[in-house]
Amino acid sequence: MTFAWRTQAQDITLRGIVKDSATQTAITNASISIKGLRGGARSNQEGRFRIPTTQHAAVVTVTSVGYNSKTIHLDSIPNAEISFSLSRSFKSLQEARVTNKRQRYRNKGNPAVELIRLVIDHKDSNRMEAYSFATYQKYEKLVVSVDKVNDKLSKNSLLKPYHFLVENSDTTKLEGRRLSPVYLEETYSNNFYRKSPEKIKSVITGKRNVDYGELIDMKGISMYLNRLYQDFNIYDNNISVFTNLFLSPIAESAPTFYMYFIEDTTQVDSQKLVRLSFRPRNPNDLLFRGTMWITLDGHYAIQKLRLLVSKSINFNFVRAMNINQDFTRQPDGRYLLTKSDVLGDFGITKAGTGLYGEREVSFVNFQANTALSDSLFKGPPTEILDSAETQADSFWVVHRADTLTKYENKVYANVDSLRKMKSFRRLVDWSTFLLAGYKQAGPIEIGPASTFYSFNPVEGFRLRLGGRTTTHFSTRYYSEAYAAYGFGDQKWKYFLSGTYSLNNKSVYGFPQHYIRASYQKETQIPGQALQFVQEDNFLLSFKRGNNDKWLYNDNFRLNYLHELRNHLSYAFGFRWWEQTPAGTISYVAKNGTDTIRQITTTEFSGEIRWAPHEQFYIGKLYRVPIINKYPIIDFSVTQGVKNVFRGQYNYTNLDLNFYKRFYESFLGYTDITFDFGYVIGKVPFPLLDVHHANQSYAYQLQSYNLMNFLEFVSDHYATAYIDHYFNGFFFNKIPLLKKLKWREVVEGKILFGGVRSENDPTKNPQLVKYPMTNGQIETFSLSNTPYIEAGFGIANIFKLVRIDFIKRFTYLNHPEIPMWGIRVRSKFDF
């Protein structure tokens, strides 16, 4: 330790640096105190500290976890620096062992907390990201097994043909368990890292998984399972486990929320280690409990890690979770992760039949600080070689970190036999019809079933029948069509589309690259915007208030879409649109003397979208995004052209949309969407931005749930949708509510906008007038006051249902509007 005195008037500053006597490396977080002086200081990452004092003679004591303390008597002030170092002492750690965990816990003066702060201070130097370059190979194995199969079910005669799946049971992996593997996936990849500018590249050279056939989306299942069992780094502040975010026990703020206890010291490969246990201060928070082994070689790295989650936290369907990680010492003394094992036990009940999932990851052949060329990092972060999914068995024998068990080995053959069984194919076919609404019929699918019957005020009772082609028909040509008839208006509606896949891949997969032409004659509610739901879905037939503002639309569309593997996509489109008012809407201009039967527009559009690291679950109808921490940015331009195909108006419509999920550790997460729009040109109100309203009883994330259809229009606007999910942070602390496992949600939506004088029919008599009912105007433009609605939701009711209580705060004098409402939404989540 080096000390220097600096005297200025009567103020003196003691400065020094603390070092390890053996390695001469800096000792971080050492405690320095002066006898008779309150306070003191701690050494920084370079081992340096400063203490202001007025004493010219002092007794200085330096202490640090894992080292012998040292006291220095300074009787006189030398002009030169004084060097001093601390020697290690493992005995002091053993003496500090906590044997009674029920005694009052304190951070101050706690050697376990002193040690964990050293680990926190050394986090950056113990990560792989501390190297300028790094390469390694990675082997991943994901196994899902059925556990505790009901005896009556396993002996059922109807299921007798499938008994061979259950009979392949491993009773040795876990005591008292019969694990029957039903899914297996293996991946082998070469991985590269560069620090500046930071880039990560993964080249998958081998990939295979069991295949249940085309009726089951195996890629979607693989994507979802890997999202549940994603990689995590203990050195990150927050760790995602089964879609929930946990605070790491070595996060900067961890000592505020965790309790730490030194259990023992041990020696592994001549390295001294401290075994440190930890648990949450509040067992109901999203925090871990477990044990870590910490090195005492000056790096304060984690050598081994065991993590569990408390059974009292608000987790759905997760009966148990266990994470084990092992770190290996590198030639430079750092410890890097070499094996990770994540296990999850899932079930609807605590003791019944469930699923047991395990993901093992091995990291081998690590090399550091060997320069890598820039060309290596070109392209998307993850690249799958064309040969990856066709690798022979010999490839896996060479590259597997561990051999498969005999039960895992049988999974590929068992599932292959299963998919060839006609009874299984029939079972999956009808299950798909019940769950997704589509029924296979040779090269086509009939559906969706949810639209076969519906009703509304314009069409009355409505029947619809449709379908689409599958890959059995072609992998390049896709067609979709339906016909519907309204018994109230006695009119036919129909839709026909043809799509050509330019990359010879499914148009529902990733990446998409296609040309599509379509024609649709259909009814529509102005301002209704639905996500992942058909507009004529039966459940949407039930609406609040007056639902009498409709359109008859004729649309011809020609679209081109190209998605790149780096998740940047662009699209171009042409649209001919003829809209005819229906219900109580009428297009009247010139002070009511001119009735317009139709509005016809011709549009050209362009769009660019960026969604880094986006993932999907690909279903029968939609690709459902698997939300992550990365933003989604979408910008589009639509140009209306007059006198082309009877187009009546020139205008430009600009729209910019930004979405991001922000994770706040145990406080939950926030979904934020910003949307900006601007219409350039003089147009009637049907061509302005008709703001998304919702008159159904289902809560819609990106619609105004207390706004009426066609209530507001704008030619310029800015809006924000905010939903924050607390994940039970407050309810878990209330004894009665804790057992229900409910979760809190707060939401708010705000809309700024307006209509310029040139597009305002109240100021320009030549424009189409806003719709009126019984002499009252029911369509408005926004003034200086924004539209605001906000609410509070209770989610996870019966583990699926969310109920929101919403209040509207502005424009309360509009006719037939609700002041408050209750909306319902269903969502599956862990």
Question: Per-residue pLDDT tens for 561-577?
Answer: 999 988 899 999 999 99
Q: Which residues contact 539 (CB under 8 A, 6 or more apart)?
A: 450, 696, 698
Question: Structure tokens of 148?
Answer: 């505790």
The half-sphere exposure of 822 on its side-chain side, counting CA atoms within 13 A, is 4
The beta-strand segments (E) located in 442-585 are 444-446, 453-456, 460-469, 477-486, 491-501, 513-524, 549-563, 568-583
Strand-pair category, 776-777 with 491-501: unpaired
pLDDT tens digits, one per residue of 660-686? 999 887 788 899 999 999 999 999 999
- pLDDT above 70 for 111: yes
pLDDT reported for residue 194: 93
Phi, psi torsion values for 369, nearest 5 degrees: 60, 30
Determine the 3-state secondary structure of 312 from DSSP. coil
Evaluate whether 47 touches 28 at the Cβ level (below 8 Å). Answer: yes
- Whole-number Å distance between alpha carbons of 544 and 700: 14
Q: How far is CA 796 from CA 510, 625, 745, in A?
A: 31, 20, 10
Contacts of 163-169 with CB under 8 Å at 24 or more apart are 164/414, 164/417, 165/414, 165/418, 168/407, 168/410, 168/411, 168/414, 169/407
Evaluate whether 818 touches 781 at the Cβ level (below 8 Å). Answer: no
H-helix or E-strand containing 436? helix 422-436
- Higher pLDDT, residue 550 or 20: 550
- pLDDT above 90 for 249: yes
pLDDT tens digits, one per residue of 58-89? 788 887 766 677 888 876 555 555 656 887 66
pLDDT tens digits, one per residue of 380-429? 888 889 899 899 989 998 888 778 888 888 888 888 777 777 777 777 77
Single-letter amino acid, residue 50 = R
Rg for the chain (alpha carbons), in Å? 33
- Whole-number Å distance between alpha carbons of 409 and 404: 6
Q: How far is CA 550 from CA 153, 324, 462, 660, 669, in A?
A: 52, 58, 15, 33, 38
Single-letter amino acid, residue 350 = K
- Whole-number Å distance between alpha carbons of 767 and 760: 8
Evaluate whether 669 touches 725 at the Cβ level (below 8 Å). Answer: yes
Question: Structure tokens of 325?
Answer: 């990680």
Neighbours of 468 (CB within 10 A): 21
Q: How far is CA 692 from CA 704, 706, 710, in A?
A: 6, 11, 8
Phi, psi torsion values for 62, nearest 5 degrees: -120, 130
pLDDT reported for residue 3: 40
Contacts of 307-310 with CB under 8 Å at 24 or more apart are 309/241, 309/246, 310/280, 310/283, 310/284
- Whole-number Å distance between alpha carbons of 215 and 302: 45
Phi, psi torsion values for 129, nearest 5 degrees: -65, -5
pTM: 0.73
pLDDT reported for residue 430: 77
Determine the 3-state secondary structure of 3 from DSSP. strand
Q: How far is CA 454 from CA 134, 319, 446, 458, 542, in A?
A: 59, 41, 17, 12, 9
pLDDT reported for residue 83: 57
Q: How far apart are the first and last CA of the chain?
A: 52
- pLDDT above 80 for 654: yes
Highest mean pLDDT among 8-17, 149-158, 174-183, 642-651: 642-651
Evaluate whether 232 touches 307 at the Cβ level (below 8 Å). Answer: no
- pLDDT above 60 for 508: yes
pLDDT tens digits, one per residue of 714-730? 999 999 999 999 988 88
pLDDT tens digits, one per residue of 124-181? 888 888 899 999 999 998 888 887 666 665 566 666 666 666 667 777 666 667 788 8
Evaluate whether 164 touches 178 at the Cβ level (below 8 Å). Answer: no
Handedness of CA 22, 24, 25, 28 (dihedral sign): positive
38-42, 239-243, 287-291: segment of lowest average pLDDT: 38-42
pLDDT tens digits, one per residue of 586-617? 888 766 667 788 999 999 999 999 998 887 77
Single-letter amino acid, residue 548 = D
Confidence of residue 790 (pLDDT cuts 50, 70, 90): very high
Residue found under tokens 């009426």: 708
- Whole-number Å distance between alpha carbons of 290 and 241: 15
